Structure 1
Amino acid sequence: MDSRACVQGGLHWVVPGTDCREALPFVSLSLSLSLSLSLSLSAAFQECLSTNVWKRDVKLGNDVVVVLRNKLSYVLYQAGSPEPKIVKRGCEDNFDQGEDLAEPIDHLILVVSGPVPEHPNLARLGFRASSDTVGSLVDAVDAMRYNRRELIASHFEMTTDSKSTGRVELLPVIWQHDMAAVRDATEIMNMLSLPTAVRIRHFLKEALLDAVTYAVERQACVDKVAAAVAETIHRFRANNPAFTGSVNVMGHGLGGVAMFDLLAAQGQENKTEVAAVDAAVVGDDATPAPIETDPSTEEEAVQLPAHLADDVTLEALLKEHEFEDLLPQLQEEGIDLESFAQLNTTDMKDLGLNMGRRKKLEKVVEDFAQRQAQKEAYLEKARQAALVQQQERALQQRRAQAEAAEAKAKAAAAKLQQAQREAHTVQFPVLEEQLAALFLCGAPVGWALAQRVAADLTAESRLKTCERVYNVFHPYDPMAYRLEPLVDETMVELPPAQVAHANRSGRRLHKELQTYLRGAGRDLRQELTSFAGSAVTSFSEALRKRTGKGLEDYGVNASNLKQLVSSTDTSMLAEDGSTRSVSQLNPERRLDYMLQEAPTEAVSQSLFALDAHTAYWNSEDIVLFMLENVYGHE
């Protein structure tokens, strides 16, 4: 802070400077005096102090009068107010000056939020503010610092032999996307939004704006996150040259997704999340292979049988059967082969033939007509076969054209997809710092990985520049997703590991009650099992004495009855397996961790779901979880 210029800014991060001024008098959280009125009141106070004359009225306009009774008591009278109000000056008597900034720092935790700036409610963070006053990421980190100091004092013992000072610095990483575009999109969404279900629509608006901004401007987002992280670490090391502790990152929401993507790409050249286009798919200029056809199916001259293949003339036919003397007469009458086949007995009489020659000529005409009919039938059959072949060739051609068109369409679509993938390929910048842990708080990393084609999270997956990953989420957070089922599908049946509560027992009150009831149920089942075993044994012995047969002789086994009595639903007794490692992302412990909901939140999941995504900022459990894991790996 520059006291002369009355400007304050960030020491380890870059933010526009804000005005700072002396503490203003205030009446309540929602009513503080302006700077001009404060200066008038201060001048009157100095005059009263120098002259030692008090009980002076100072008019501040708007029917507001402040009476200076003495140097410790100011009273404000306002028109329309039945009672006077006490005017307080500066800070409360129990003002906390904070920790010693010269004290060495053990570890560093950077806090990264999403593309859309955070606006936490200051009253919920514990600040002295009205219920509708919102702050920034810097205010949220300030609240986490306060919780960190309280937890260090109550949960960690720093002995004189310990090299740790108990100071873990939390710094906000200030990176902002194109704020003009964000404001414009926010104004448009506000204009289009309906006036009903305001809280739900507000949450969806911020969540959608975060997701869409990161999806569309992913390259710009990761570049800005990497630059802001590197700049913050550089400034921190410049101001703390003796720092030798670990560097950790807490990623909230889409900020956690950006950090995971950035760390996952370290050490991999030209990393892309999409699969390559199938090599079998060709470009737009591809043409289908020609269809091979059987030469025998091509159109050619019809091959007739030998007895039908010879071409016969009228002269040859008459000469063959010794009727050549009739040729001039038939030609004179205009008879050809076609009409010759239609001659009948009357026609033959007209030619002057006797009965004997008529019978012979009738036989010749009948044989010739039969031969012509056979030839015509054979030719018709050949024409039908040729027509069928032609239709088949046309069908094959249409199929070939359709296949060619389909192949061309697929090639064009593949080329377009490849162009889109290349346009959205992200070139991740290099992050030089080696991180100890990445704490994902309400970050939908699991959802983001599930949407990507080439995203493959296995048991051998790890981040080369980050030792451990913790996926922490509130049970009601709509933005939270698990990671472990992506590695091992059997982990769906195993609930996430539970984050310890900040009290001494590590469990909230309703969780303690559930544990007690489960223990009481187990004790009751053990007693019933023991009683059933002894009762069955006694009854079997008595029955054997009277009848000579026991329960075993009737097919009743005492051990089966014990098992029936002691049977119970073991799912409620399942351990969370917090020490089980499922991936090299966290070689020693699990990936998924779930906060314990407050007793009031357990009443209705839907009612408290909208506030669950911002509950991490004022959660003591989150801060304690990070401190335990940071100090636990020293």
Structure 2
Amino acid sequence: MSSVQSQQEQLSQSDPSPSPNSCSSFELIDMDAGSLYEPVSPHWFYCKIIDSKETWIPFNSEDSQQLEEAYSSGKDCNGRIVPTDGGRYDVHLGERMRYAVYWDELASEVRRCTWFYKGDKDNKYVPYSESFSQVLEETYMLAVTLDEWKKKLESPNREIIILHNPKLMVHYQPVAGSDEWGSTPTEQGRPRTVKRGVENISVDIHCGEPLQIDHLVFVVHGIGPACDLRFRSIVQCVNDFRSVSLNLLQTHFKKAQENQQIGRVEFLPVNWHSPLHSTGVDIDLQRITLPSINRLRHFTNDTILDVFFYNSPTYCQTIVDTVASEMNRIYTLFLQRNPDFKGGVSIAGHSLGSLILFDILTNQKDSLGDIDSEKDSLSIVMDQGDTPSLEEDLKKLHLSEFFDIFKKEKVDKEALALCTDRDLQEMGIPLGPRKKILNYFSTRKNSMGINRPMPQSASGPNIAKESEFCSRSNTRNDDYLDVGIGQVSVKYPRLIYKPEIFFAFGSPIGMFLTVRGLKRIDPNYRFPTCKGFFNIYHPFDPVAYRIEPMVVPGVEFEPMLIPHHKGRKRMHLELREGLTRMSMDLKNNLLGSLRMAWKSFTRAPYPALQASETAEETEAEPESTSEKPSDVNTEETSVAVKEEVLPINVGMLNGGQRIDYVLQEKPIESFNEYLFALQSHLCY
């Protein structure tokens, strides 16, 4: 307040004409030069900590207008809560704080900004506090009205601001080491530019997001707390994902959006890393971690060990509970804040997050609760060839002499799996062989499930001979569905909604299923509650694996190439395909010419009497030989066309549509695949 009073005194001394008892400043505005002064238009900003630095970011124009209307509404504005950023944040006007709604995040300061100064190390402008901005505005108003400039003000931080003219206003930092007598700061150091109004500073202010939400997508991260090479969190990466989708709506669906035919897609992050590592496991790991290469070991404990945690029953339960409960909680909260939402819900997972979602989806129940139906059971083939007979099993156990006993009692493999120790004893089998047989068949039953023949129509005669194992519910736990894919035996929670599509980015699902002992996925299988499944990956991603070869192992075909957002292939890919086509044509023509030359060289000499016949044949042969390569090329091209035209049956996992989709690499990435391998896994 002392600084404000001193400024008022300086201003009163500079203009002695008004009487001290009158409201001189405001009267002069109305009387003399009211048309010269225009009130500043405020804009609302919020503060974020980026790279350990405070950065002031403007609200979009719609949010800023709503905040200003709430601020100007009256005395009750301090108790108002204004939703911003598409409803993902709430601003408490009285506290001037901004809080995240769906996830945990530090609250950020909110400010009604009118005056700005340029920062230290960058060209970004920093807003003054609201109280000091008001002092600056009053001083500016008097300077414009009285046409008296070179006004000097001192901020609460002992910074000097000088208003030279409407276009030249500077800010001086306080001089370090001022004397103890509290002398006034001097105009030393490099001056900084001062600007009035947000329209005079270089800052991007977006228009805002459409109010209508057509679809909701939950995004689950992979290993570690960081999701890209800039070590950003899942919240920051999903924010970029959302911004890209909004930009694509503007560029590709502008007319439909202007006519309000479509809305937007809302992306919300799901974080499971923090709850997992808040269980105290980090302290236990720290006690056993070696002191050498400390940073590398800390990085390993914080990221790569998440894969091992997921394979542990204890921590796997924590992970699946966190993911499912978070998605259910966010979905419920989203419906409360958006009661008119009628769109669908999808889920997306990156890296290990996609495997977590895959296991959760395979253990869901359909609306009828028929978890054992052949329609919704995950049929898989173990990597062990044909099912061995009972005689072969006994031979493996070196118990072939007891096969006649089982044959006499009409006991096959399924019946033997149901026999107890007492049953085998009554058949006259000694104690040692009894224990071997019971242990062998109980182990196979627990690890592989129930043996069923594969339908002949689903997979053909060759595959029908192989053993197939289908899902069975655990009698001790109604929520756990053991689908027999080698996953950890935990209680998988149910989702309170049915996802429409499951997106897997850079997913190791195929590798994990193979390591778990699965050879193929039944083409008739589909998720109990999810209709679509897309496996999307970068061609150089070292963590990504395909899914379609597990559904159709006997057919080799390329994944679907995702078009560029401009509607074409990248230039280097088109050039590469063109060169490949040219080289193949050149190779075929060269081989055809060499074949003709070789035949002419190796042809046996004809008698002189057959000279006329030889001439006719030599004239006819080039035509025939020249036609052969063209026939071959025609056949090859026709086959290629057939391969492109004929649909590929990849099962019902994605409703009969293709599953594997590959992104187009950048031109610079094609120079060295290994150099961009790590980056390609974090590019999604």
**Structure 1-normalised TM-score?**
0.60
Gap change, CA 1:464 and 1:519, over 3 Å in 2: same
Q: Residue in 2 aligned with 1:49?
A: 140
Gap change, CA 1:462 and 1:39, over 3 Å in 2: same
Q: Displacement, 1:220? A: 2.1
Alignment of 1:171-250 (within 5 A): 171-175=268-272, 176-180=274-278, 181=280, 184=283, 194=293, 207-216=303-312, 217-250=315-348
Q: Displacement, 1:462? A: 0.2
Q: Displacement, 1:482? A: 0.8
Which residue identity does 2:222 align to in structure 1?
G
Q: Deviations over 1:125-169 (max 9, x none)?
A: xxxxxxx6x542222222122211221222236459987324222
Give the count of matched residue pairs. Answer: 486
Q: Displacement, 1:280? A: 5.8
Secondary structure in 2 matching 1:106: strand
Q: Is the 8 A contact 1:15 1:174 kept in 2?
A: no
CA RMSD of aligned residues (A): 5.5
Higher normalized helix content (fraction of residues): 1
Alignment of 1:317-396 (within 5 A): none
Q: Residue in 2 aligned with 1:154?
A: 251
Higher-Rg member (1/2): 1
Q: Residue in 1 aligned with 2:560?
A: 497
Q: Residue in 2 aligned with 1:549?
A: 614
Q: Is the 8 A contact 2:503 2:534 kept in 1?
A: yes
Q: Is the 8 A contact 2:346 2:500 kept in 1?
A: yes
Q: Residue in 2 aligned with 1:596?
A: 664
In structure 2, distance between residues paired with 1:613 and 1:88:
43
In structure 1, distance between residues paired with 2:587 and 2:433:
71
Moved more, 112-121 or 429-438: 112-121
In structure 1, distance between residues paired with 2:611 and 2:442:
91
Gap change, CA 1:3 and 1:259, over 3 Å in 2: same
**Percent of pairs with identical residues:** 26
Q: Displacement, 1:473? A: 0.7
Secondary structure in 1 matching 2:213: coil
Q: Deviations over 1:518-555 (max 9, x none)?
A: 4555776899899999999xxx9xx9997431474799
In structure 1, distance between residues paired with 2:328 and 2:505:
21
Q: Deviations over 1:591-627 (max 9, x none)?
A: 11111111111111111111222211xxxxxxxxxxx
Q: Is the 8 A contact 1:473 1:594 kept in 2?
A: yes
In structure 2, distance between residues paired with 1:610 and 1:521:
32
Q: Is the 8 A contact 1:496 1:576 kept in 2?
A: no
Secondary structure in 2 matching 1:49: helix
Q: Residue in 1 aligned with 2:219?
A: 111
Q: Residue in 2 aligned with 1:136?
A: 233
Alignment of 1:455-466 (within 5 A): 457-466=521-530
Higher normalized strand content (fraction of residues): 2
Q: Residue in 1 aligned with 2:96?
A: 6
In structure 1, distance between residues paired with 2:120 and 2:285:
32
Q: Residue in 2 aligned with 1:513?
A: 575
Q: Residue in 2 aligned with 1:393?
A: none
Is the aligned partner of 1:582 residue 2:650?
yes
Q: Residue in 1 aligned with 2:498?
A: 434
Which residue identity does 2:277 align to in structure 1?
M
Q: Displacement, 1:564? A: 4.6
Q: Displacement, 1:510? A: 0.8
In structure 1, distance between residues paired with 2:591 and 2:445:
70
In structure 1, distance between residues paired with 2:540 and 2:564:
17
Q: Is the 8 A contact 1:578 1:590 kept in 2?
A: no
In structure 2, distance between residues paired with 1:186 and 1:50:
63
Between 1 and 2, higher relative CO (CA 8 Å, sep ≥ 6) is seen in 1
Q: Deviations over 1:397-429 (max 9, x none)?
A: xxx99878977997998999999x999522222
Secondary structure in 2 matching 1:111: strand
Secondary structure in 1 matching 2:496: coil
Q: Residue in 1 aligned with 2:353?
A: 255
Q: Displacement, 1:260? A: 1.6
Q: Displacement, 1:118? A: 3.8
Q: Deviations over 1:247-283 (max 9, x none)?
A: 22221222211222111111265999999x9986899
Gap change, CA 1:409 and 1:590, over 3 Å in 2: closer
Q: Is the 8 A contact 2:214 2:265 kept in 1?
A: yes
Q: Residue in 2 aligned with 1:615?
A: 683
In structure 1, distance between residues paired with 2:346 and 2:530:
9
Q: Is the 8 A contact 2:349 2:504 kept in 1?
A: yes
Secondary structure in 2 matching 1:20: strand
Moved more, 406-415 or 252-261: 406-415
Which residue identity does 2:579 align to in structure 1?
L
Q: Residue in 2 aligned with 1:21?
A: 110
Secondary structure in 2 matching 1:513: helix
Q: Residue in 2 aligned with 1:485?
A: 549
Gap change, CA 1:579 and 1:191, over 3 Å in 2: farther
Alignment of 1:524-563 (within 5 A): 547-550=612-615, 552=617, 558-563=623-628
Secondary structure in 2 matching 1:117: coil
In structure 1, distance between residues paired with 2:327 and 2:350:
14
Q: Displacement, 1:49? A: 3.1
Gap change, CA 1:28 and 1:530, over 3 Å in 2: farther
Secondary structure in 1 matching 2:304: helix
Q: Is the 8 A contact 1:525 1:566 kept in 2?
A: no
Q: Deviations over 1:105-124 (max 9, x none)?
A: 22222222236434446xxx
Secondary structure in 2 matching 1:177: helix
Gap change, CA 1:512 and 1:554, over 3 Å in 2: closer
In structure 2, distance between residues paired with 1:588 and 1:211:
31
Q: Residue in 1 aligned with 2:9?
A: none
In structure 2, distance between residues paired with 1:21 and 1:161:
31
Which residue identity does 1:111 align to in structure 2?
V
Which residue identity does 1:485 align to in structure 2?
P
In structure 1, distance between residues paired with 2:241 and 2:215:
15
Give the unaligned 5+ runs of structure 1: 122-131, 293-399, 617-634
Q: Is the 8 A contact 1:494 1:576 kept in 2?
A: no
In structure 1, distance between residues paired with 2:423 and 2:357:
46
Q: Displacement, 1:58? A: 5.5
Give the unaligned 5+ runs of structure 2: 1-90, 144-148, 177-187, 383-412, 449-475
Which residue identity does 2:246 align to in structure 1?
R
Which residue identity does 1:143 align to in structure 2?
D
Which of the numbers 222, 234, 242 marks the counterpart of 1:145? 242
Gap change, CA 1:475 and 1:185, over 3 Å in 2: farther
Q: Displacement, 1:82? A: 9.3
Q: Is the 8 A contact 2:592 2:625 kept in 1?
A: no
Secondary structure in 2 matching 1:515: helix
Moved more, 170-179 or 603-612: 170-179
Gap change, CA 1:46 and 1:215, over 3 Å in 2: farther
Q: Displacement, 1:441? A: 0.9
